[in-house]
Amino acid sequence: MNKLRWIEIHEFRNVVPETSLRFSEGFNVLLGRNGTGKTNLLHLISMALRLDFEAVADEAFEVEFEIAGPENSKLVARVRNRRVESEAQQELFSPQNSPPNSPPASYDFCFELRVGLSDGRELEIRSSTQEGVKVLVAGDEPKGLPGFRMVLNPTALMSFFFELLRQKVDLGGTVPLVIMGLFHAPYRFDEGLNAFHAMHGVGDSVLSSPHRAWLEINRPKAKATSSEVTPGLGVRSSYLPSNLYMTIVSAPPRPAGKALLRKAATSLGFKSVEWQKRLQQRESLSHGGVRETYAEFEFGCALHDGGFVLDDQLSFGEKRLLAFLYYLETAKGCAIVDELANGLHYDWIQSALDWLEDRQAFLTSQNSLLLDFLPITSAEGATEMFIRCEHVEDRKWCWKNFTDNEGSEFYRDLSVGVEHVSQILRTRGLW
């Protein structure tokens, strides 16, 4: 799975320019008061890991970052969105006389990607709204792609690599694994119930699908393999259980992953948890196949006394825990979680952290319980784990890693065994 190693923020919203952050391969915990930009940092991390900056297409920004992929593959990116105005616009709509309904500014979206290939060479991609796309493979002449306009997101990038292969650009035999890993990168798991509603295809968060979740399956009469059938997804593909891709070609969708359902039943105290769907429409296709449309995805929970409840009858905390398990099931890479402890009993907080141990995770919390459960075993671990988010002059956001000295002093106090993590952070003015 891909991991974010570092990010340099030259310009982004209210962040102090030239901010540089490095990230641990395990837990990365954002500390700070309300309003210091922690959720904005989580959004930026998610956009970087997904290589998708569509959400900030109308904002000026410039960032650099490195993503490490499987088998030593990596991607280094520099992404910039710069406001561009004509001389007439600058004169007519200067800050002194700009009317409230002035026309929107245009932006020049540029990016440079350096991708390590399997044979050790490096592929460089340069793209600009104004200048188009150029490709450079180490040792070769730069190659322009006239008329090719590239959008930066995982699907477009994959299509671009296939276009390079079609044009016989030597990529070392395969699409780099770090590019494949972009499809598993997560969205932010929010601090409320947006992720829960997104499971059902409603809501307006970045996680949500269209207003009604649906799944369309084209089923040929003859038995098909997974490569012969491509389902149409009305929900984000990253928000459907991964085993759906393997089952929809030969049978209606089966319940979500067994591990998810077992964890949900055990944690929530039910006899079992089932993933349910309703066949909304079935129609024959001209080639002899069948199209089936499923709607109203939901989880049903069986009680030990024979009763049954649907997920919309669960409590706030139960809904968040169920949504979190679903999030981990469908986002196979890193985890980006805002206020994980919100609404959860301390036993569930401990379980949630245990489930995250194999991943790189980015967390925020104003709840001391989550901080007190963090596995901190060394001064170096503390230094790598914590990121401080603060206000500075003019309420700008200052984001920075712990210094070596802060990590050492924190761990020295923790080793005494008298104070909890949260107490030490507060006493030292670090949280």
Q: d(Cα 145, Cα 135) in Å, to the nearest integer?
A: 8
pLDDT for 136 equals 84
pLDDT of 144 reads 67
Residue with tokens 């993590």: 421
Q: State whether 137 and 212 are in the same domain.
A: no
Asked if residue 39 belongs to a domain, the reply is no
Do 282 and 165 have their domain in common?
A: no
Task: Say whether both 207 and 178 belong to one domain.
Answer: no
Do both 57 and 180 map to the same domain? yes
Indicate whether 71 and 162 sit together in one domain: yes
Categorize the per-residue pLDDT at 246 as very low, low, confident or very high, splitting at 50, 70 and 90: very low
Sorted by sequence, the CB contacts under 8 Å of residue 132 that are 6+ apart come out as 144, 145, 146, 147, 148, 149
232: left (phi over 0), alpha (psi -120 to 50) or beta: beta
- Is residue 86 included in any domain, yes or no? yes
For residues 166 and 207, membership in a common domain is answered with no
With 60 as the cut, is the pLDDT of residue 138 above it? yes
pLDDT value, residue 227: 28
Residue 100: which pLDDT band, with cuts at 50, 70 and 90?
Answer: low
Q: Are residues 301 and 212 in the same domain?
A: yes
Res. 91: pLDDT tops 70: no
345 in a domain, yes or no? no
Among 53-57, 68-72, 207-211, 259-263, whose mean pLDDT is lowest?
Answer: 207-211
Most confident of 39-53, 137-151, 176-190: 39-53
Measure the CA–CA gap between 429 and 388, rounded to whole angstroms.
10
- Reported as a pLDDT band with limits 50, 70 and 90, residue 288 is low
Lowest-confidence region among 52-66, 160-174, 257-271, 397-411: 160-174
Query: Using one digit for the tens of pLDDT, what is the confidence trace for 7-44?
Result: 999 999 999 999 999 999 999 999 999 999 999 999 99
Please tell me which residue, 87 or 402, carries the higher pLDDT value.
402
**Residue located via tokens 């309420």:** 395
- Condensed to tens digits (0 to 9), the pLDDT of residues 145-178 reads 655 566 677 777 877 887 787 777 777 767 788 8
- The number of distinct structural domains making up the chain is 2
Residue 273 backbone class (left: φ over 0; alpha: ψ -120 to 50; beta: rest): beta
**Contacts from 34-39 at CB under 8 Å and sequence distance 24+?**
34/366, 35/391, 35/395, 36/389, 36/390, 36/391, 36/397, 37/13, 37/389, 37/397, 37/399, 38/338, 38/364, 38/389, 39/188, 39/191, 39/338, 39/364
68 lies in the same domain as 172: yes
Asked whether residue 259 falls in the same domain as residue 302, the answer is yes
Q: Does residue 301 lie within any of the structural domains?
A: yes
Query: Which amino acid is present at 320?
Result: R
| Average pLDDT, integer, range 395-408 | 96
DSSP assignment of 57-120, as one string? Answer: TTS-EEEEEEEE-GGG-EEEEEEEEEEE--HHHHHHT-TTT--TTPPPPEEEEEEEEEEE-TTS
Residues 142 and 78 in one domain: yes
Which of 299, 330, 361 is the last residue before a domain boundary? 330
> Which has the higher per-residue pLDDT, 220 or 7?
7
Say if 236 falls within a structural domain. Answer: yes
pLDDT recorded at residue 314: 96
Domain shared by 77 and 174, yes or no:
yes
| pTM of the complete model beyond 0.75 | yes
**The domain boundary residue, chosen from 158, 184, 210:** 184
Is it the case that residue 256 has pLDDT exceeding 60? no
Mean pLDDT over each residue of the chain, to the nearest integer: 80
pLDDT higher than threshold 80 for residue 395 = yes
Domain membership of residue 362 (yes or no) is no
Q: Long-range contacts made by residues 200-204, C-beta under 8 angstroms, separation at least 24?
A: 200/296, 200/297, 200/298, 201/234, 201/235, 201/297
Pairing of strands 74-84, 61-68: antiparallel
Q: Read off the tokens for 14.
A: 């209210």
What pLDDT does 6 receive? 99
Quick one: DSSP state of residue 53?
Answer: -
Q: Specify whether the CB–CB gap between 199 and 326 falls below 8 A.
A: yes
Q: Residue 217 above 60 pLDDT?
A: no
Q: For residue 383, is it within any domain?
A: no
Query: Chain-centre distance of CA 233, in angstroms?
Result: 19
Q: Which of 294, 310, 330 is the last residue of a domain?
A: 330
Q: Which two tokens stand for residue 66?
A: 């490195």
Q: Residue 279 falls within a domain, yes or no?
A: yes
In terms of residue numbers, what domain contains 64?
Answer: 52-184
Dmax over CA atoms of the chain, in Å, equals 75
Is the pLDDT assigned to residue 225 strictly greater than 70?
no
Amino acid at 187: Y
**Over 60: is that where the pLDDT of 249 sits?**
no
What is the pLDDT at residue 204?
42
Sheet with 132-137: list strands edge to edge. Answer: 19-22, 3-12, 61-68, 74-84, 106-116, 122-128, 132-137, 143-144
Are 75 and 154 members of one domain? yes
User: What pLDDT, in 10s, does the model give residues 315-369?
Assistant: 999 999 999 998 888 777 899 999 999 999 999 999 999 999 889 999 999 999 9
Q: What is the DSSP letter of 298?
A: E
